[in-house]
């Protein structure tokens, strides 16, 4: 446990910086035009970005979406399905690779980000197919 403590501490600090510095809002606004072009709900962008880093922070954003739009809305259903189809890529990679002392990750990050993107796209597709939106 002590071996992965610096990694966990670094990730917690990164999540705090993302949430409190306005960087998450900046990234959301940067990606918003592309999301609008493909029909991705802009309300889900902060959750989609935070999900890559922290599950607990993403859960907090999920609950905020539920409060604002309700779990039964299209956006509520979409983010619920998306949370089930995606992973905290950076957390998982950093903890596991630190634990096994791996120095070279090769294609792990690219593959994980690609799988995560597929999870987000398929979640949106499934929700549109089942509930419209």
Residuewise pLDDT in 10s, the chain (133 residues): 667 677 777 777 877 777 788 888 898 899 999 999 989 999 999 999 989 988 888 888 899 999 999 999 999 999 999 999 999 998 888 888 888 888 888 899 999 999 999 999 999 999 999 988 6
Distance CA 86, CA 101 (A): 25
Whole-structure pTM value? 0.83
**Domain limits for position 26:** 5-131
Structure tokens at 48: 């989609």
Domain count, the chain: 1
SS3 category, 9: helix
Structure tokens at 92: 């998982």
Residues 50 and 18 sit within 8 Å (Cβ to Cβ) = yes
Which secondary structure element, helix H or strand E, spans residue 82, and what is its range?
A: helix 74-85
CB atoms within 10 A of CB 60: 15
């Amino acid at each position: 446990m002590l071996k992965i403590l610096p990694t966990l501490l670094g990730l917690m600090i990164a999540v705090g910086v993302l949430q409190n510095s306005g960087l998450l809002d900046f990234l959301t606004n940067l990606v918003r035009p592309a999301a609008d072009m493909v029909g991705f709900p802009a309300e889900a962008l902060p959750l989609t970005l935070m999900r890559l880093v922290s599950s607990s922070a993403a859960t907090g954003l999920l609950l905020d979406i539920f409060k604002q739009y309700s779990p039964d809305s299209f956006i509520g259903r979409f983010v619920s399905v998306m949370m089930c189809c995606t992973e905290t890529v950076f957390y998982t990679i950093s903890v596991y690779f630190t634990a096994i002392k791996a120095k070279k990750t090769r294609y792990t990050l690219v593959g994980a980000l690609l799988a995560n993107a597929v999870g987000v796209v398929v979640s949106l597709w499934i929700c549109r197919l089942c509930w419209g939106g």
